[in-house]
């Protein structure tokens, strides 16, 4: 996918005109849900009792796995908030028809997760845009993913219950700005890990997840963490550590990616069924900087990360000893 040339405003206006042609019962542009990290662009009620959440994506650069998984996070969030019967659709604008093989993988991944996912090629004809309306009109929520939404909804509720605002005050302090590069933090933590006899540290730790299988794609990759810390004392217990340099501005896509990462590693397939992986893997996010949300809701991003299972710690090398020895 090449960079787009049409402005987002133009794309939105074009799609809104197409939606309006269908004379739906209700169309709301730019709705706001306080618990979502990324809002849908339109809520459409074709008829009473049927709801469509429509996201429009106009990427400035080619997709990669990080930006693709951030888009998938939008799907998870709206399904858990609005319900599994809400039809969730995405439209991505591109200047070509997937020239690179990786582009096809990213698009197929999203198309196999969303209820509807459409490619809008710049300069496409009216017939192609008309097919978008037809797809929105005829599609139904994917019932093969209902179990996933139910499992994840329960998991998120349990995690969210452990949120304590006082515990995370320093993480939303905007005065704590990132000062150290990730590479230097990793080097310092490597020194500490060499002196710790209670773990067997593994750098660039791989962890399989069902993300490709869920989307109907061959499993060709794994999630990687900066460190894996398998316990020598407790069998089948591993802490996986990622280090993230974050600030209040410019970090939302990275946070959405990290949320999707924590969601996917929580599941595995057993006897062709998706099941909760259990407590064998604990994800720990060590933050350099702050993860403050908007002024009216400074804990928004912290609550979101905690709800999907991340244990939050400061990215100070000395804190790594706490991570190693704490019962988390």
Same domain? For 196 and 313 the reply is yes
CATH number of the domain encompassing residue 262? 3.40.1350
* Residue that is last in its domain, among 78, 110, 141: 141
In this prediction the pTM is 0.90
12 falls within a domain: yes
Same domain? For 83 and 190 the reply is no
Domain span at residue 29 reads 8-141
Q: Provide the pLDDT confidence category of residue 218 given band limits of 50, 70 and 90.
A: low
86 falls within a domain: yes
Same domain? For 52 and 185 the reply is no
Same domain? For 122 and 187 the reply is no
* Three-class HEC string of the chain: CCCCCCCHHHHHHHHHHHHHCCCCCEEEECCCCCCCCCCCCEEEEEECCEEEEEEEECCCCCCCHHHHHHHHHHHHHHHHHHCCCCEEEEEEEECCCCCCHHHHHHHHHHHCCCCEEEEEECCCCHHHHHHHHHHHHHCCCCHHHHHHHHHHHHHHHHHHCCCCHHHHHHHHCCCCCCCCCHHHHHHHHHHHHCCCCCECCEEEEEECCCHHHHCCCCCCCCEEEEEEEEECCCCCCEEEEEEEEECCCCCHHHHHHHHHHHHHCCEEEECCEEEECCCCEEEEEEEEECCCCCCCCCCHHHHHHHHCCCEEEECCCCHHHHHHHCCC
Q: Provide the pLDDT confidence category of residue 233 given band limits of 50, 70 and 90.
A: low
Number of domains in the chain: 2
269 falls within a domain: yes
Minimum mean pLDDT among 19-33, 64-78, 173-187, 237-251: which range? 19-33
25 falls within a domain: yes
Same domain? For 202 and 73 the reply is no
Same domain? For 168 and 300 the reply is yes
13 falls within a domain: yes
Q: Provide the pLDDT confidence category of residue 230 given band limits of 50, 70 and 90.
A: confident
Same domain? For 232 and 315 the reply is yes
55 falls within a domain: yes
Same domain? For 99 and 171 the reply is no
| Segment 286-309 mean pLDDT | 95
Q: Would you state the pLDDT for residue 9? A: 87
- Using one digit for the tens of pLDDT, what is the confidence trace for 2-38? 444 468 888 888 888 888 887 788 999 999 999 899 9
236 falls within a domain: yes
- Using one digit for the tens of pLDDT, what is the confidence trace for 265-293? 998 877 777 788 877 899 999 999 999 99
Same domain? For 103 and 252 the reply is no
């Amino acid at each position: 996918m090449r960079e787009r040339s049409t402005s987002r405003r133009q794309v939105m206006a074009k799609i809104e005109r197409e939606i309006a042609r269908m004379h739906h019962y209700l169309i709301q542009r730019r709705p706001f849900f306080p618990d979502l990290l990324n809002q849908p662009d339109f809520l459409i009620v074709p008829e009473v009792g049927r709801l469509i959440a429509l996201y429009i994506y106009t990427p400035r650069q080619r997709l990669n796995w990080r930006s693709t998984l951030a888009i998938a996070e939008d799907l998870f969030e709206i399904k858990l908030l609005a319900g599994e019967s809400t039809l969730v659709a995405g439209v991505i604008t591109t200047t070509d028809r997937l020239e690179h093989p990786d582009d096809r993988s990213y698009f197929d991944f999203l198309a196999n997760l969303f209820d509807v996912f459409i490619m809008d090629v710049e300069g496409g004809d009216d017939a192609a845009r008309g097919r978008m309306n037809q797809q929105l009109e005829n599609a139904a929520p994917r019932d093969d993913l209902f179990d996933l939404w139910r499992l994840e909804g329960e998991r998120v509720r349990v995690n969210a219950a452990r949120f304590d605002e006082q515990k995370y005050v320093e993480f939303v302090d905007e005065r704590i700005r990132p000062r150290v590069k990730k590479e230097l933090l990793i080097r310092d933590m490597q020194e500490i890990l060499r002196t710790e006899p209670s773990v067997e540290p593994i750098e660039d730790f791989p962890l399989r997840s069902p993300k490709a299988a869920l989307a109907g794609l061959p499993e060709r990759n794994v999630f990687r963490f900066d460190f894996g810390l398998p316990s020598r004392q407790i069998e089948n217990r591993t802490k996986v550590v990622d280090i993230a340099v974050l600030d209040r501005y410019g970090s939302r896509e990275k946070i959405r990616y990290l949320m999707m990462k924590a969601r996917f590693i929580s599941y595995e397939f057993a006897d062709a069924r998706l099941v909760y992986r259990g407590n064998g893997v604990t994800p720990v996010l060590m933050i350099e900087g702050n993860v403050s949300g908007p002024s009216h809701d400074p804990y928004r991003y912290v609550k979101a990360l905690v709800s999907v299972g991340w244990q939050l710690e400061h990215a100070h090398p000395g804190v790594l000893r706490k991570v190693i020895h704490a019962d988390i």
